[in-house]
Structure 1
Amino acid sequence: MSENLRLPWADLFPTPVGEEDAPAPPTRSAPGRRGRRPLSAWPSPSEPPPWQSWRLLVYGPDAAMDGFVVQAAGPGLIPWPFDAERVEEDVFALAIGPHGPARGRRGLSVEGCRILARQFRAAAEVRHARLTMRGTDSCPLDFHRLVPVPERIIALGATHPDARAWLRANWGLVESPVQVRILPGLKAGRRLPRGHRAIVYGFFTRNGAPDPVIRRLEEHYPTLVFRLTERSLA
């Protein structure tokens, strides 16, 4: 499977309207007319929610905070290699394969599978172009800037087992956080000494907690305090 094959709904994450808004877990729709089963099974109650909402409070001396804010900002992505032709090939193989839609009772024809693959390729190219157009400091808390993924790992591709293992060990995640933003008006919850200040970041992650990143930050910035808290999605 190509590291570039990313289904269109893979980037669908909730967009909060206000600071307190958070994505709600999916609920089953009411019984209605019969139709096809969804492409993915609903998670069982014992499974963790795919999306988690976090706040990261950082505070400390002004000079150290200035350095951290500059170092933390970046484009907010991992520069994985991109191969549009491989994307098209993989989607076609999925569609035409023994478990693809072409094998269903009303499945796609071979030409239909080729059209679908070309459409996926076009969508992947648009997504890649959109990501590469991000500003160099468009994300205020870029994990790749703070805990860089080595070039040898990036060269493997996003879906390679060794790449995912490295990310799990060093980030606690297998992909960058999304909707990273600074939450204005929030404070440390305590009176800080003169010459100190606080900043609060909000972001979402999928299927993982960024605890390894926080531990690394505590090591690299000993004069700063980091407090990570999970926000309920209920």
Structure 2
Amino acid sequence: MTENLRFPWADLPPVKGDEPLSDSTAPLTPAPRGRRGRRPLAAWRDAAAEGYWQWWHLLVHGPIAAVDDFAATARGRGLIPWPFDGERVEEDMFALAIGDGASAHTRRGLSIEGCRILARQFRDAAEVRHSHNLMRMDRPCVLDFHALVPIPSSILRLGATHPDALSWLRRHWGTAEAPRNVQRLVGRKAGRRLPNGHKPVVYGFFTPRAEAPEPLVAAVRARWPDLSFVLSARDMA
């Protein structure tokens, strides 16, 4: 049962601090003094060094009209629209709190009723986050995998942890998760002189290190044959 539990923070992106802000995430006004900013790369480099995150660059270049068409199509929410079952979340969290997955502290300190209260609070937090995600369109993601290679509704209905859903994602996207911390890297070049009437755009994003989004790049390459797509893994050191 608990293998179906997906935490509310599962969709939170890692933050890479040594890249310029994207055109979709740059603040419109200076942040008030004292507010915490983007975490520096050093804040989570150790986690990446352990092998979980991979930072990618996707260079797209070609005729201006085709690049603009790709960029417009690629914009979206940046989330996989899995169905949300609050009752199932609460049930799974209760099982996790009271069962084999519970910590020693929880088993000693929480009664059955306390575990139920914890599960309900967790469900409430998950529902709030899910609602916020559905409304998160003021700053759309500049490279939405679901917008480029849509997940069929029959796969979405299976849920985020179903083996067939994960298999579909890895087969068509190359990764079982939406990319994290997606940015359009303003000022990046193609690395060579382009013909007149051509332009580049460069995206940066994270995926789990073992999951390269090559199937998705192959799909967009076939859809936009006039464009060149270059996917490259970048070292975070």
User: Same-fold call, TM > 0.5?
Assistant: yes
**How do 1:163-174 residues align onto structure 2 when only pairs under 5 Å count?**
163-174=165-176
2:130, 2:3 → 1: CA distance? 12
Alignment-derived partner of residue 186 in structure 1: 188
1:92, 1:169 → 2: CA distance? 33
Alignment-derived partner of residue 24 in structure 1: 45
2:134 is aligned with what amino acid? T
State the 1:6 CA deviation. 2.1
Alignment partner of 1:219 out of 213, 217, 222: 222
SS across alignment from 1:180: strand
TM-score (norm 2): 0.82
1:82, 1:89 → 2: CA distance? 13
1:141, 1:3 → 2: CA distance? 29
| 1:204–1:165 distance in 2 versus 1, CA, 3 Å | same
SS across alignment from 2:201: strand
Alignment-derived partner of residue 125 in structure 1: 127
Alignment-derived partner of residue 140 in structure 1: 142
1:233 is aligned with what amino acid? M
1:211 is aligned with what amino acid? E
1:105, 1:186 → 2: CA distance? 53
| 1:144–1:3 distance in 2 versus 1, CA, 3 Å | farther
| 1:127–1:215 distance in 2 versus 1, CA, 3 Å | same
Unaligned runs of 5+ in 1: 28-44
State the 1:126 CA deviation. 1.7
2:7 is aligned with what amino acid? L
Q: Which has the higher helix share?
A: 2
| 1:135–1:123 distance in 2 versus 1, CA, 3 Å | same
- What whole-Å deviation, never above 9, does each CA across 1:128-166 have from its counterpart, x for those lacking one? 011101118701111001111001000111111100000
Taking only the aligned residue pairs, the percentage that are identical comes to: 57
Alignment partner of 1:156 out of 151, 155, 158: 158
When the two chains are superposed, the root-mean-square deviation of aligned CA atoms in Å is 2.4
Alignment-derived partner of residue 206 in structure 1: 208
| 1:24–1:103 distance in 2 versus 1, CA, 3 Å | closer
